[in-house]
Structure 1
Amino acid sequence: MLDTSARLLRLLSLLQTPRAWPGSELAERLGVSGRTVRNDIDRLRELGYPVDATRGSAGGYRLGAGAAMPPLLLDDEEAVAVTIALRTAARGAVPGTEETSLRALAKLEQVLPSRLRRRVRTLQAYTVAVPADQPAPAVSADVLTTLVAACRDRERLRFDYLDHAGAPTRRIVEPHRAVNWGRRWYLVAWDVEREDWRTFRIDRIRPRTPTGPRFAPREVPGGDFAAYVSGRVSSAAWRHYARVTVHAPATAVIERINPAVGTVEAIDADSCTLVTGADTVRALAVHLGMLDFDFVVTEPPELVTHLRRLAERYNRSTPPPH
């Protein structure tokens, strides 16, 4: 009986990986016959695990989704990772999920082996989260779930939205991804009426139901949703913009910045244009200096003035050559 129970647990562990297992491979892994594998599959189904079977060269057994959540088997690293994630969620990463995360965390920690419980408690005792300098905008878990479901199902969304100035608008979009950047969540979507890509703060979205018709997915500019959001969000916050000629190949400049800092356009093999910005001209000057390449700035005038002042200051700070 012990051998059978251990074999069922091993079989369940294999089936929980996201792939189809041919019966012959399962039999080899478990060291039993194909008939025993089929009998064990039937036992798992009787216990409530929905095991799907498909025929053909790419077929086999796979654990499917059922009407109820069956027990999961986690290896050591998975159990620790899930525990850490639940602790993070319990701190309010997505407001509205704290209580649920704590309940799940209590259930998981109750069954953790002592060796894993010690690892988790050590992580908890010797790691400190620095509070954000500003509270994160509250994002409803229900709203977030509604948005990502529409992304998954490729269904148009209608929602009320507060723009940057706080004015209410109504949007119809084709949602593609929800992106977490910094302390905020954003929805990347194709705005149907404006016929262009847009980025929306999820804490300002109030979805309207039902959802609309299905749509064909589009390719986001640049092909990277995270880079698209970081570029749009950072540039929207800039108070000062600069267009800088850098005397270095575009590839070399791109290696030293990320999309949140600016965009690079090649002029020729040895020079490029950097379009960047910051909240202050002082910050702009720092970023340009850290490039460690020669550059020419013609605008904005306040940045040119600040760079000249810095050049004079740096020149006075060093003794004249002998």
Structure 2
Amino acid sequence: MAPSAGPSARRSTTASAERLLNLLIALLDRESGYTREQLRGIVPGYDRAGNQDAFERMFERDKAHLRSLGYPVEEIPDDDPWASDAQLTPRYRVPRGSYRLPRVRFSAEESAVLAVAADAWNDAAQDRLARRALDKLEPALSGEAAPGRDLQPTVAVADPAFEPLLSAVLAHRTVRFDYVDRTGAFSQRTVQPWGVGSRYGAWYLAGWDTDRRAQRTFRLSRIISEVETTRETFEPPRDFSMGGQLARMVSQPPQLCVVVHVRQGAGQLLRRIAAPSDSPAWRAPEGYDAVQLAVHDTESAAEHVCAAGPDARVPREPVPGIRGDAAQGGSTPTAEGGPSAEPDSTSDDAPTAEDIATQNAVADAVARRLRDARAFQARMPGVDVRWGKQRRYGAAKASTEQHLARLLHIVRHVYAHQGAELEETARHFGITDAELVNDLQTLFVCGRPGHMPDQLIDASWDDGHIYLGNAQELSEPVRLTVPEASALLMGLQTLQAVPGGDSRVVRSAMQKVATAADALPLADALAAPDADAAAEPRDSALVTRLRDAIKNGRRVRLQYLVASRDEVTERHVDPVRMIFSDGQQYVRGWCLQANAPRTFRTDRIVGCEDAGEAEVHPRMESEVRSSIQPAKRRPVQAVVVTDRRGRWIVEHYHAKRFVEVSVPSAPGETEESDAAPREANSQPIPGSRARAARGPRPLPEYVAAEVDFPTLDALSSLVTRHAGHVGVVSPPEAVAAVEQWLNSSCPEPTPGRP
């Protein structure tokens, strides 16, 4: 168990929350406020500060805690008429009424979508903010709300740049970072961030690029440095909408088609995104099937082929007997650079020069990626991984704020439901009866300065029913802070991208959430305008069939592709809900084969048929929140090393631990050239310049992370898919499997016939 979860840590958190609550009551109690020294004398807990410096630090932290919960701690001049200028010290207060929730009321439909949005975050910090926001809005929610259980969006962030960029968006602060665009070109950017949002499974930043003097959109996964937040402020344009910006990002149709030969009975994931090919120019040899892959560019095609490893290859030249336009001028270069034999006949289906060029370009990209993967893996034996102590950033702060927020929520809730049953109240807060009693005991010893019996909060629960008194100021609904509202609004924004969602209700709820924070521009910035409604996605026929099965209580028979095992399996599933996450849709239900809850990606469902009436499964009914997180225990535990371009793996694959490491240079490569930013093929980026003396702090060049995988093939596929950016250090059996996978992958087949 982590140290922060132990009894001593819980006592420390309770003591901190008690001190903060007493401080808040004191700041609310006196309109003229108190000086620091006065507060040090009247607030229990400050006597534990050993010296003046310790007290100053404690007081500054406490002020930040209260402000983060929505209580504006003000600093006002001292009102002592007899004091000299040298003796005047500021006084502190929370003006009464300054924190009250504005008049707002949510309909049953709006309350339902708010509950879904608050439950969407997989990021711990944003999840806390969204749930705290929903707690504060409790008095304004409809009691008739019944959140649908058949749909659940989830918001997951694997990009380290997200938190600082979101903070900069909310604070209107200019940022700087190093960026690698889709072509691999490196640059340092200075940006006024207008908004952050997700689309098609990726997170984006939109803003004003001050160097290029134009609006730009940046993909967060391509930021390869820490985000530096400057002191420079700006005002975003009034007509900007991040929701509208995302809605206008339309997925472009594939521009290229390439023929790939896939080993029979293998490469199921590649087959799923391809179609059978009947081109006579690139007929498959014995043991292989020819498929046609439609892609946006050669690198996308190469990535898919490399992920299949030894089971896929790209033929270069047409088979003999098929004449293409490129062959009409004589010979055509082979993979080795020499001329190939002149085709001996023509065909109506002969490939064009463009077709041949596409095949060769993709084959070259595959070969280059596999070379980079082999070269990077060859450097892994020299990596020394020393884990050291893993730090948990912000754990104490989050724990203290979370406990104080719960104490304040208990006061507001019980004041609105005097005489509520203790057991029912504990269930409402998701805590045990003993934890609720401990919280009530904490409230019982808090009160106005002096702490005489008539100044303390009156709390009683002896008969199993809870009553509170003498805490009227704390019982008033509190307005949302901007970070709380933003967390809830971004959850609502995700609902706008869910096929079949009611955008009218979502937009209305977003406006009211922003009103509750007195920050209407937030809703305008995040919501998609009505004019963008045409860009809203629609359900596929398969998803519609699954939704109908959930609605009508029907069982389905699925033909499902298990990518990690490269096989198609048959499952009988009683579906319960749809999950939308990172641009993908999932169906969550009870799998009869596993006799347990399971989650299935809809784009990997090969077939779906009705299989009769579904049963009710108590474990599914008791699920408060569905998850698409990987299983806690997976059979393959490996230590992988990533460079800056692959750092997202640490978060995306839920690494148990990670540490910065050094990687030996490749033969013939100096450390200086190795430290330069890299593009997709791991070659030095053309035009990269030296880092300015003052600029974004670079991320660690290499990081080792301990990650679990379902199979060795899944690990090997990751290495070849992200060629040159990922390697495996241990255990030996995993290293051996990856090296065998790399060595058996054949990027350059024999000309004419693979």
- Shorter-chain TM-score tier: 0.3 to 0.5
> Could you tell me the TM-score, scaled by structure 1's length?
0.43
Higher RCO, 1 vs 2 (CA within 8 Å, ≥6 residues apart) = 2
> Could you tell me the TM-score, scaled by structure 2's length?
0.22
Q: Which has the greater radius of gyration?
A: 2
